[in-house]
Structure 1
Amino acid sequence: MVDDEYQRATHDYRDGYAGLPVQVVDLDDADGELPAPDSVVWWLSADTYDAEHTFAEVFAWFMKRVDTTRVTAVVIGAWEDAYEDSSEEIIRLLVDNAARFPALRSLFVGAMESEECEISWIQQSDVTPLLEAFPLLERLDVRGGTGLGLRPIRHEALKSLRLETGGLPGAVVRGVGGCDLPALERLELWLGVENYGGDARMGDLEGILSGVRLPALRHLGLQDSEIQDEIAAAVASAPVVAQLETLSLSMGVLTDAGAEALLTGQPLTHLRRLDLHHHFLSGGMMKRIHEALPGVKIDLSEQEQGDDDGDGRVWRYVAVSE
């Protein structure tokens, strides 16, 4: 997996996904010449507000016009009323037609920009059926944590799992940790804030941090969290860290306390990259990190100061919430 393929924040991927250019399925231009099915990523979506065409209509046209047996990558963008209606119907359409997608290897569900639907407004559903129906899937990206579900399963082929949320339910974190994913190389979880359903606690991360069910993991991202200091302290002694090449504790409320725990824990000098961007570290601590890890590429951009609430308390915030 190529690090540069993954964006640091929410991204619409209309310029490319899974190493391929994007072909938007547009029913208003349905008579145009289509590219080879395996040469592009097929983007399927409907307008969130006042949709002229439903997602089901877009999907039906796609199934009729494209040889889906050759399709390797699909992005599901918006669907009508995504802030009220969940992805359950979209997932059912994919699962019911799984036999017609034998080459599918990469899938994104919910690639919406904020203008279409804020990340924490997106109504998701249980994505476990996708992994059950597509045993050869190698990459799964999901945006939106409201209503999101994932049950522990075994999947032999999945190499990358990315859950972008403004609030990731603890049950989903436990579900990930309970999965047997022998091929998984990249795992990225945006934990978000409790106000938007991000109720994960340290105990929920035990299955992930042990690394027992993730023998191939090389990149771990536990990001965008209100409890970033606690996560950093747990990572400092987590068995999974020894097998990693890259680590991201970015986008959250990381302070000097968390960084101190990280530096005094197990060695991190084996890492190629440590991503801590969007943080609340002091200049002195930033210098210490660079000095302690001279051979590691470190991202300490987006140093935040926090906001004084007027009562002498500092309000700190994650990068992505609503």
Structure 2
Amino acid sequence: MTHIDIEHLEHFHGLPVHNPDPSSGPLPAADSVAWRLVCEYDEETGFADLWEQFLETVDTTRVRALVIGPWWNDEYTPFAPVLELIVAHADRFPALRGLFLADVEGEECEISWLRMCDVTPVLEALPLLEEFGVRGCGQEGLALRPLRHRALKSLRFESGGLPGELVRAVAASELPALERLDLWFGSSWYGGDATVEDVRPVLAGGLFPRLRHLGLQNSEIQDEIAAAVGSAPVIAQLESLALSMGTLSDTGGEALLNGQPLNHLSLLDLRHHYLTEPMVERIRAACAPAVVEADEAEEDYGDPDEEPERYVAVSE
């Protein structure tokens, strides 16, 4: 089984990610980088102090993008107090357009251990935000309520277990500017209980009229998703589609081939899959001139005489 290592963001919202360190010389211009705030392990400075220092040393009125890394310096702590600080000082960030919560690598904390919370308040406090990403699992509190946000263009949830309630909240939200949507469904072992029905309003088209990229990824029901995508009206408006990181097999591949044409896409991402090589070649041929990204197939596990065991790329 291939395990995909989650790594720190190097670029976000079109900007290089920068860890502020006053001891290393002059800070860059406030609007030239995506600022990454992180508590160093075993240091005494907590996130509240780090946040206050950031507000005092950087012209936050010009900050365009913000990335929150590990917010604890010893034992893992809940994310809610960090979110409360961002919300409380939202008026200090009038230029903020990109926000990523929990940019944490597996060596720092497994994605399923990140103690997240309802992230709706930060979207409500930042009505001009254009790009929003979150990493975490539903079993540790990750949640969203339906909302209306006029400016949001990109919404991304990276999860090893995405709750169906959150997916339904996305589908019940009014996001007229949304161009990119990425959902990592994850594993049922880690709270991932989202279904195709939860995402059906998105697949029906018209919900997000400006949507050009859709990622329904990292799923144990990747074949079911592929079958639903095959007849989904939303596909006609897309420029790229990601069905990667999950348990996609020839069953799902056949459903894609029997569905609507996908050759208007610029990219079809199928990486981390269980497709046979002949099926991959059939999909490539059917989708040309679209680029089909498909690496070497994952291996089935378990007794060969029984139903094969297959795994998503990111779970724990």
Q: Structures share a fold, TM > 0.5?
A: yes
The one-letter code of the counterpart of 1:57 is: D
Q: 1:24 aligns with which of 19, 25, 38?
A: 19
Whether 1:37 aligns to 2:9 is no
- In the alignment, what sits opposite 1:101? 93
1:248–1:98 distance in 2 versus 1, CA, 3 Å: same
Deviations 1:271-311 (A, max 9, x none): 11100011001122112111211211001113112113465
Pair 1:140–1:83, CA change in 2 (3 A): farther
State the 1:46 CA deviation: 1.1
How many aligned residue pairs are there?
311
Structure 1 residues 80, 279: CA separation in 2 closer, same or farther (over 3 Å shift)? Answer: same
Aligned residue in 2 for 1:268: 262
Give percent identity, aligned residues only: 55
Q: 1:187 to 1:289 in 2, by over 3 A?
A: same
Paired residue for 1:3? none
Deviates more, 1:59-68 or 1:307-316: 307-316
Query: What is the CA deviation profile of residues 210-269 of structure 1, one whole-angstrom value per residue up to 9, with x for unaligned ones?
Result: 233210000000000000000011111111111001000000000111111111111212
Consecutive unaligned residues of structure 1, counting only runs of 5 or more, are 1-7
Aligned mate of 2:131, from 130, 135, 139? 139
Which of 232, 239, 243 is 1:249 aligned to? 243
1:10, CA displacement in angstroms? 2.7
Query: 1:320 deviation in Å?
Result: 0.6
Higher-RCO chain (CA-CA 8 Å, sequence separation at least 6): 2
Pick one of 83, 86, 93 that aligns with 1:91: 83
**1:213 counterpart = 2:213:** no
Distance 1:279 1:302 in 2: 8
Secondary structure of 2:61 counterpart: helix
Residue 9 of structure 1: CA displacement? 6.6
- Partner SS, residue 113 of structure 2: coil
List structure 1 runs of 4+ shifted beyond 4 angstroms. 81-84
Q: Is the 8 A contact 2:44 2:73 kept in 1?
A: no
- 3-state secondary structure, aligned to 2:183: strand
CA positional deviation for 1:19: 1.9
Contact 1:83–1:121 (CA under 8 A) maintained in structure 2: no
Letter in 1 for 2:234: V
Instruction: Provide the residue aligned with 1:122 in structure 2.
Output: 114
Match of 1:12 among 8, 14, 25: 8
Q: Does residue 52 of structure 2 align to residue 60 of structure 1?
A: yes
**Does the CA-based 8 Å contact 1:209-1:240 persist in structure 2?**
yes
TM-score (normalised: structure 2):
0.94
What is the aligned-residue RMSD (CA, Å)? 1.7
In 2: Cα distance, 1:270 partner to 1:292 partner:
11
Alignment correspondent of 2:183 = 189
